[in-house]
Structure 1
């Protein structure tokens, strides 16, 4: 991002694959072979007004946190997703570093919707909506690891609008998904990846309980600023999480 303060919660799973531009698995998280990954992107145009609350809450809640409801994407979310993935600050450390064109975002959304049936139960990319207003804040995801450099596990991803950076939404959501994955799903290991220089995204991973596993280097077709420092992999196992959180209650489901 433009400054450390703005990067406070940006997570960018991976950039394009070494041989395929934009290759990154599920758009949400890492970037398999055609999409983008984590980050917080923000633009006021991506936020909904309070009158949208009824519309947003009409969709079943996936996971609920103190300030947010996570739910499935719908076709009606295309404008908000386009604002998020089209924001230059959000995409600066993801994939080729450029905003995603709307036509590509429409294809990404179609894949998100298809994943709800194609991925393991309760996996996919989920809208993060503010409880009080229904405003679109960004998204978080749990998917089979597909980002460049990852070799197994369930990948955690996130992107949040710049307009709400620094307020802890990415961390709050990431912690909730980690808890949900270990307490309610059959997940044994959660992984995440970002650029070594993306300090904000790394802090979110660390606050969610993940620890640094390694730094690795890939040959990107279009290297972006900071690529020379490589990428990092973070992870946490069910055993470690359980040992640290065995006193907690299961995550709330609506």
Structure 2
């Protein structure tokens, strides 16, 4: 499976992508508003879970590597996983810092949303962003998500409690 946009190619994660996955989950700039640095065992388990073949309505996440088409450079990862609501997916993305600010997160997320809607009739999407992660919030808003809830002191990063911002996108709300 491959998705393409004007500037990006999105392909399934494979075993050779461990260095990228490791870097994304250990770079302080990437994870500072997302999560604490995982142990290598936790990260290996997460990586192996994302290597499993994805099927619609499965509990396995769809994880795609974002590649800059013109250079072949790996940018980050994006994808989704089943949420607790039927026909709903929770989206996520992590990009290497040297690719921040280029619109790649928005471009790749929109491609994933379009794919999920057109090929798998996904009706709604969710995302959770830690308060202060303004870049991720802007990406979601550009893709049509709306902030629907704030949960105070919901998530700890580095021993500090943060408010979680919950975003929602219904296919009837946005380019269905």
**Length-normalised TM-score, structure 2:** 0.87
Pair 1:128–1:189, CA change in 2 (3 A): same
2:146 to 211, 216, 220: 211
Gaps of 5+ in 1: 1-59, 146-150, 247-254
Aligned: 1:76 with 2:11: no
Aligned: 1:157 with 2:92: yes
Pair 1:121–1:70, CA change in 2 (3 A): farther
Q: How much does 1:125 deviate?
A: 1.1
Residue aligning to 2:173: 240
Gaps of 5+ in 2: none
Aligned: 1:185 with 2:120: yes
Pair 1:217–1:115, CA change in 2 (3 A): farther
Q: Which protein, 1 or 2, shows the higher relative CO under an 8 Å CA cutoff with sep ≥ 6?
A: 1
Give the CA RMSD over aligned residues. 2.4
Q: Which has the higher strand share?
A: 2
Residue aligning to 2:164: 231
Q: Is the 8 A contact 1:78 1:105 kept in 2?
A: no
Q: Is the 8 A contact 2:155 2:164 kept in 1?
A: no
Q: How much does 1:217 deviate?
A: 2.6
In the alignment, the residues of structure 1 paired with residue 94 and residue 129 of structure 2 have an alpha-carbon distance, to the nearest angstrom, of 12
Q: Is the 8 A contact 1:195 1:226 kept in 2?
A: no
**Length-normalised TM-score, structure 1:** 0.62
Aligned: 1:89 with 2:11: no
In the alignment, the residues of structure 2 paired with residue 121 and residue 215 of structure 1 have an alpha-carbon distance, to the nearest angstrom, of 26
Number of matched residues? Answer: 174
Q: Is the 8 A contact 2:56 2:120 kept in 1?
A: no
In the alignment, the residues of structure 1 paired with residue 56 and residue 114 of structure 2 have an alpha-carbon distance, to the nearest angstrom, of 23
Equivalent position SS for 1:187 = coil
Q: How much does 1:103 deviate?
A: 3.9
Larger radius of gyration: 1
Q: How much does 1:115 deviate?
A: 5.2
